[in-house]
Structure 1
Amino acid sequence: MAAVDALDARILRLLLEQPRTSVREYARILGIARGTLQARLDRLERTGVITGSGPRLSPAALGHPVLAFVHIEVTQGHLDDVGDAIAEVPEIIEAFSITGGGDLMTRVVARDNAHLEDVIQRLIQLPGVVRTRTEVALRERVPHRMLPLIEAVGRAAGPGR
């Protein structure tokens, strides 16, 4: 795990709040040298703290407003095969191996409930899938976020190096 200090947390916060700003402008806002900022960004990427950059897209705006969490129970020994097969289903936007009720939990988007049913039927027919359980999301209560975590990590780390 990479150590993140208070300056790193400030950098990460700025990246989230102003994602289209240049490195030069970030350095000016933070009051640090551009080379210092670039070295820290490189380290944060190299250590896996920063995993990518680019726009966040809305499935709803792309015509897929229905969101469901589909738990998939898999025949023992077939988890990798089923994982590979569900990676080919475009409506699955995330999937995780889990403990508890089921072996995989997927985040599925669909155009409407009928389309969701079609996706679930496709999943049920995959070799190695025993059963599925679906929960439809009604409303997003806390959108995907990282800022509160970054702030907490920054406070815990103390002043920058």
Structure 2
Amino acid sequence: MGFAKFIPDDLDRRIIAHLRADGRASLSKLADALGVARGTVQNRLDRLLETGALLGFTVRVREDYDDLTVRAVMMIEVIGKSTTQVIQRLRGIVEIRTLHTTNGNWDLVADIRAASLPDFDRVLREVRMIDGVANSETSLLLSTV
């Protein structure tokens, strides 16, 4: 069963919703909350992971937890039909937390988190050196209001 063919049903979506709220929830806790057997939850989680619908489990941290992080949004213009190659290269930069396609003057939007200004500067240089990147515009995120 390939990822493109897998369509999550209502139970799958409910499992994912519970995991978004509590990624550490035990199988028993999920089963109780969803009103299904523990084995059902295990089988569904296995299938969600196997098909790629669920990529893994992670930690969510308050936005203000790490105030020493340099945060920015970068808008990227791509030349011609090189978007796929540019995306592959951008995904290799660990400071780029999320990457989105968009419409308008820009082709991609990158959410950047760097440990320091020198690290942030390095990320900017790396992005600008990627073949296929025509232009970029970056805005530092100063405070959350």
- What is aligned with 2:135? 131
Q: Secondary structure at the match of 1:32?
A: coil
Indicate yes or no: 2:51 matched with 1:37: no
Residues 63, 111 of structure 1: 8 Å contact kept: no
Paired residue type of 2:142: L
- What is aligned with 2:57? 53
Cα deviation, residue 132, structure 1: 0.8
Match for 1:2 among 2, 7, 13? Answer: 7
| CA distance, structure 2, for counterparts of residue 3 and residue 122 of structure 1 | 37
Cα separation, partners in 2 of 1:38 and 1:114, compared to 1, 3 Å: closer
Structure having greater relative contact order (Cα 8 Å, sep ≥ 6): 1
Gaps of 5+ in 1: 142-161
- What is aligned with 2:113? 109
Structure with the greater alpha carbon radius of gyration:
1
Indicate yes or no: 2:26 matched with 1:26: no
- What is aligned with 1:91? 95
Cα deviation, residue 101, structure 1: 1.9
Please give the TM-score of this superposition, normalised by the length of structure 1. 0.63
Cα separation, partners in 2 of 1:66 and 1:26, compared to 1, 3 Å: same
1:105-133 CA distance string (max 9 Å, x none): 21112233443233213322333222110
Equivalent residue pairs, number: 140
Identity score, percent: 30
Please give the TM-score of this superposition, normalised by the length of structure 2. 0.68
Gaps of 5+ in 2: 1-5
When the two chains are superposed, the root-mean-square deviation of aligned CA atoms in Å is: 3.3
Cα separation, partners in 2 of 1:64 and 1:2, compared to 1, 3 Å: farther
| CA distance, structure 2, for counterparts of residue 81 and residue 9 of structure 1 | 32
| CA distance, structure 1, for counterparts of residue 50 and residue 82 of structure 2 | 33
